[in-house]
């Protein structure tokens, strides 16, 4: 941030603070920005050094737990590879010091729905209970789905199916019978 302020020749204390808080993102940083916006608007005297010290104590190395908590709450698998997602999730879980029950809740909520739906479709006795079991089940199902995944392209007019094409629905067309009990021709009815 210091480089940005020097490059743009921002020297006024208020302008430095405003330029810094405008770039803060997330729930905790936005609260911090709100507090400092009120300080700027009030008659309280402050210096750039006090602001810099406060921002370092709020977001420095000592607050890795809070930052990890915020990141893990917003982490979604989306199109990420299952293994990559689980590695990132586990690292954030240990940094945020989240207990296993909350970790299971977050895993169910942030992992792709098709993976969770498949796991919850297991027989009741096979549904995972511990966080490690959930990690293993998600990894197995996720990698299985990723290896079977067709390369489908979405266009404005619909989906172009990759691989072998869209699976056929055999038995979709119902036969019509004539008066002699023989099936009618599909083309001429």
Q: How far apart are CA 186 and CA 2, in angstroms?
A: 76
Confidence check: pLDDT of 157 > 90: no
Residues 115 and 44 placed together within one structural domain of the fold: no
Residues 97 and 24 placed together within one structural domain of the fold: no
Predicted pLDDT at 162 = 56
pLDDT bracket for residue 154 (50, 70, 90) = low
Domain extent, residue 36, equals 2-59
Does residue 21 belong to any structural domain of this protein? Answer: yes
**Cα angle 57-60-92, degrees, rounded to a multiple of 5:** 130
Residues 40 and 108 placed together within one structural domain of the fold: no
Predicted pLDDT at 11 = 75
Predicted pLDDT at 132 = 92
Element (H, E) at 67: helix 64-74
Q: Which residues are 167's β-sheet partners?
A: none
Residues 31 and 74 placed together within one structural domain of the fold: no
More confident residue, 181 or 80: 80
Predicted pLDDT at 155 = 67
Does residue 171 belong to any structural domain of this protein? Answer: no
Model pTM score:
0.52
pLDDT bracket for residue 133 (50, 70, 90) = very high
Does residue 178 belong to any structural domain of this protein? Answer: no
Overall number of domains in the chain: 2
CA-closest candidate to residue 143, choices 115, 120, 113: 115
CA-closest candidate to residue 150, choices 164, 140, 170: 164
Residues 84 and 142 placed together within one structural domain of the fold: yes
DSSP 117: H
More confident residue, 43 or 90: 90
């Amino acid at each position: 941030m210091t480089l940005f302020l020097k490059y743009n020749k921002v020297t006024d204390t208020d302008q430095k603070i405003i330029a810094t808080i405008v770039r803060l993102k997330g729930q905790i940083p936005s609260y911090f920005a709100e507090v400092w916006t009120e300080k700027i608007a009030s008659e309280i005297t402050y210096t750039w050094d006090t602001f810099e010290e406060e921002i370092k104590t709020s977001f420095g190395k000592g607050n890795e737990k809070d930052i990890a908590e915020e990141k893990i709450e917003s982490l979604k698998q989306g199109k990420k590879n299952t293994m990559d997602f689980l590695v990132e999730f586990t690292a954030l879980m240990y940094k945020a010091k989240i207990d296993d029950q909350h970790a299971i809740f977050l895993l169910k909520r942030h992992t792709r729905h098709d993976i969770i739906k498949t796991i919850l479709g297991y027989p009741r006795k096979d549904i995972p209970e511990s966080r490690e079991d959930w990690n293993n089940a998600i990894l197995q199902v996720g990698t299985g789905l990723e290896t079977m995944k067709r390369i489908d392209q979405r266009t404005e007019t619909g989906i172009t199916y990759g691989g072998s094409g869209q699976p056929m629905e055999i038995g979709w067309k119902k036969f019509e019978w004539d008066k002699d009990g023989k099936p009618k021709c599909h083309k001429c009815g």
